[in-house]
Each structure stands twice: as C-alpha cells, then as structure tokens.
Amino acid sequence: MKKSSPLISRAVSLIILIFAAAAAVLPGAGCKPAPPGSPSLQIQLVASGFTHPTALAAPGDGSGRLFITEQTGAVRIVGSSGSLLPAPFLDISDRMVKPLSAYDESGLLGIAFHPDYAVNGRLFIFYNAPPTALTPDGYSSNVRVSEFLVSPEDPDRADPASEKVLLEVPHPQTNHNGGQLAFGPDGYLYIGIGDGGASNDVGLGHTPGLGNGQDTANLLGKILRIDVAATGTAAIPPENPFAGDPQKKEEIYAYGFRNPWRFSFDAGSGRLFCGDVGQSLYEEIDIVVSGGNYGWNIKEGLSCFNKDSASSPLDTCADTGAGGEPLIDPVISYGRPASGGTIAGRSVAGGYVYRGAAVPQLQGHYVFGDWSTSFTSADGSVFIAGENTAGSWQVQELFIRRDSRPARRLNRFLLSFGEDASGEIYLLTSKTLGPSGPRGEVYKIIGADIAQQ
C-alpha cells in the first residue's frame, strides 16, 4: 500500500514553517544583563559551524576527541587541539528521514561508545529511518538503533558499511522520538524512546484508553535496556523487570515517559537522571529505577493530566498504573514562563551531575536546562540543582558569562548537554529554530559563581 500518510503526519510542522523562518532569527531575552550578584556560569566556545548539534560523546580512548551528532545526519569530530575536523566521522543522511529545515524533532539524535571502544571500535547510533513495507500505514518513521565499527585504516572515520541494526521501532509521528543512548555502570546499553508523538499520547499509533507511555506491551514512551556484549546483537538482560514475560516487552527498563530528552548516569552515585519533556504545563526531572512507572499520561509533572484539555489539570487521578504499581513523582518539576515559578521553560533538556575537576563550585550538582521560553526567540536556560539531606532538590537558574561580557541569558536555543571523559560538561546550542545552516555552537562550562544551597 502506498504510504503517503507520513507527509500528512508532518502537517503540524509544515504549519510552523513560515512562522519559524522569521521567528528563529529574533533576539532572545539574553540581550539584557543579569541583575548584579546573580548566580552565573562561565562558558567557552569549543567549536561552531554545526547544523543543530544534538548529542556529544567522548570515546574514552585517551584521544581527547569529542564526537558531536548533527540532526541532519553527520557525526563530527572536535580534535584534541580543539579544531573541528572538516570531514565527518560518519554521515548517515542517506539512511534516515530528512528533517524539515524550519522545525523538526526527527533525525540523528544520539551516539554512545562502547566502554571498551579503545579495543573493539564499537559505537552506537540512534536515528529515524524511513518507513518500510513492515511499518504500519501512516507512520512517520522507524526509530533505529544501530551499531557501527571504526575504520581499521583511520581512527577519524567510521566504516559506513559496518552498520548492524539492533533495534527498530515504528514511530507514528515526527515528534517525541527520544534519542538518548548511554552505557550504564552495569555495562548494558540504555535507550530512551518517546511516546510516538502528536500530543496527549492519543491518536494514530497510541494505545487507545491507555497511551503508549503506560502500555508495557510496546516500546514507545520507555527507557530500554539491552545487552550488546556480542557484536551486532541485542540480548535481553535477565535483570530487566519484564524479562521472561511474554505479555510485555522485555527490553523495557522503565516506563511512563512522554519524551525522555536526555538522561545520564551519575558517576558518583550511579543514579540515572532523566529529563522528560512535558505537554502543556510542566517539565520534569526523574531519578529512574528499574521497573519504575513515571506517570505519563496519567500525570504531567506533579499534576493530574487531562488528555481532553491539556491546559486544565484534573483535580484527581489514579496514583497507580494499570498493574497496580505506584506512579513515581519527579524530583524536580517546573512550569511555563507565565507560571511565576523561580525557574521556567517549555522543553527540558536533561543534563549531568557534575563530577569534573575544573569547576569545583559545581561538584555534586545536577546541571540541566531548558530549550527556550518560546518558539519566537532563542532563549534557552541553564539550571543547577542540589540535593539536601532530606532528599529534596533546590534549583536555581544560572546566567551565562562569555569572555569578559556581563552575565546574560544564553540567547540561543539549548539543544542538549554533553560530558567528556574527565566529567566536564558541554552545552549544545543553535541560533536557529530548525536544522538549517551552520549556526550551531558547542560551549564548555569553565567556571561558576553560584549561591549556596
């Protein structure tokens, strides 16, 4: 059957096209200096010229290189000298859906290196591949996780012919893809996949009456865990919560997510921190445990979600999932700019607990952020959170210092965070709303002046 519906499924993005082309060039709120004494971060430009950088990873091979994915399909290398290499490490643009230039959430979204990469040269990529004959009619893409090998002749090039597809999940709409890949302390590969897109976890490709986030019989709206010990294979870890259950997807590690946009393991505690993008009112940070149900689409943040009117929370809702399991609340939740909270935004970007050495003021703090306060201006935010002895978290926004200029807002769209082999943290940003033009930049956090928490 002819699959013309994926074009229709992009209608929402197409509506934005004319609006976005103008909106993306408007200045953000960062033009105004922060009030004197405001907590701040000092950042340093590492490299520029990227087309929407979505993820950053270090190979752990002692080379000092940083590998950065572009949404349009290339993996770029920043060498140990700080220079952006002209040739990409890998280019899969011919294997994936082509993201809309004005705004899109699909494309090349994640990268992870095997813990023994220095020996085995194995790396893993997350991207949206075109629908196939097996993809349900009307779906936008297939979320794909693939393994590649580095070229035996050139450490700065992957072997494009080495791809082995480990996981392929039909994805209904263009948004809420997830995209994070990370190896845990247990050596397993963790994968974040969104609920399938559209809104409210309803509609084409969403489980009626339940939603994909709550449906443990599908892989959408989940964090997955697989064993990639054998090259080119994806096995089920026996410790997975649904291992051996034929009624549930055995790859699931945790569920009840809308769009898990960036998670990371704290090198100090081993805990898994995840940013889950909200619908209309609230963003959240979760500490994820095996088998945990994080509430979507029963709850958004700490509130009871109303799938019939997303901006009007219900007074009451279930506090358990379909199997009677408790819903786990986020450790941090915040609202939109109009909410009047101490921090605000509209699309959380999960980050990292700082365990580096260059910025001791950040030690043990969780660094995360938000994409922008609006679609009409590049106005991303960076936050830090500290945990007190009672287990609650205090959050503050940090204004940004570049060079000798006064601290201001970021004045860019904050796309993602990255971490190098030494535990130092990076900001991946763009001056454009969509993946068009080489206006993406990567910054390194090199200093901080924060309030005591």
Coil vs helix vs strand at 402: strand
In the prediction, which pLDDT does 24 show? 44
**Tell me: the pLDDT tens digits for 325-382?**
999 999 999 999 988 888 999 999 999 999 999 999 999 999 999 999 989 889 999 9
Angstrom distance (rounded) from CA 251 to CA 396:
36
For range 311-315, the mean pLDDT: 97
- Average pLDDT over the chain, rounded to an integer: 93
> If you average pLDDT over residues 7-17, what whole number do you get?
44
Q: What is the pLDDT at residue 12?
A: 45
Alpha-carbon distances of 278 from 197, 259, 281, rounded to whole Å: 12, 8, 7
Q: How far apart, in Å, are the Cα atoms of 197 and each of 175, 204, 299?
A: 5, 9, 17
pLDDT band of residue 31 (cuts 50, 70, 90) is low
- What pTM does this model have? 0.95
Residues 6+ apart with CB under 8 A from 422: 356, 357, 358
SS3 222: strand
In this model, does residue 453 exceed pLDDT 80? Answer: no
pLDDT confidence bin for 207, thresholds 50/70/90: very high
pLDDT per residue as tens digits for the range 379-397: 999 999 999 999 999 999 9
State the pairing for strand pair 366-370/381-387.
antiparallel
In whole angstroms, what is the distance from residue 295 CA to residue 67 CA?
34
**What's the mean pLDDT in 207-211?**
98
Q: What is the pLDDT of residue 144?
A: 98
DSSP states along 85-118: PSS-SEE-GGGSPPPPSSS-S-SEEEEEE-TTHH
Q: Are 105 and 96 in contact (CB under 8 A)?
A: no
What Å distances lie between residue 14 and 9, 56, 170, 299, 386, CA to CA? 10, 29, 22, 29, 40
CA distance 106 to 345: 21
pLDDT tens-digit readout, 36-86: 778 999 999 999 999 999 999 999 999 999 999 999 999 999 999 999 999
Does residue 251 contact residue 220 with C-beta atoms inside 8 Å? no
Strands (E), 256-412: 260-265, 272-276, 282-288, 299-300, 303-304, 332-335, 348-353, 366-370, 381-387, 393-402
Residue-level pLDDT at 221: 99
**Contacting residues for 276 by C-beta, under 8 A, at least 6 apart:** 257, 258, 259, 260, 261, 283, 284, 285, 286, 294, 296, 330, 348
Place of tokens 């997303």: 310
Distances in Å between the Cα of 327 and the Cα atoms of 238, 257, 299, 324, 398 are 24, 11, 9, 9, 31
Q: What's the average model confidence in pLDDT over 284-305? A: 98
Confidence of residue 30 (pLDDT cuts 50, 70, 90): low
pLDDT grade for 6, boundaries at 50, 70 and 90:
very low
Question: Which of the pair, 340 or 274, is modelled with greater confidence?
Answer: 274
Is the per-residue pLDDT at 29 higher than 80?
no
d(CA 330, CA 281): 14
**Per-residue pLDDT for 230 more than 50?**
yes
- Chain position carrying tokens 């075109």: 130
Count Cβ atoms within 10 A of the Cβ of residue 93 and give its class: 0-12 exposed, 13-18 middle, 19 or more buried. Answer: middle
Q: Identify whether 297 is preceded by a cis peptide bond (ω within 30 of 0).
A: yes
User: Above 50 in pLDDT, residue 110?
Assistant: yes
Does the pLDDT of residue 95 top 70, yes or no? yes
- The 8-class DSSP code of residue 403 comes to T
The pLDDT of residue 16 is above 60: no
Predicted local confidence at residue 452, as pLDDT: 62
Domains annotated for the chain, with CATH where assigned, are: 5-32+48-337 (2.120.10.30)
In a 3-state reduction of DSSP, which class is residue 223? strand
Cβ–Cβ < 8 Å for 162, 231: no
What is the mean predicted confidence (pLDDT) over 174-202?
98
Per-residue pLDDT, averaged over 149-168, amounts to 98
Q: Do the beta carbons of residue 446 and residue 359 sit within 8 Å?
A: yes
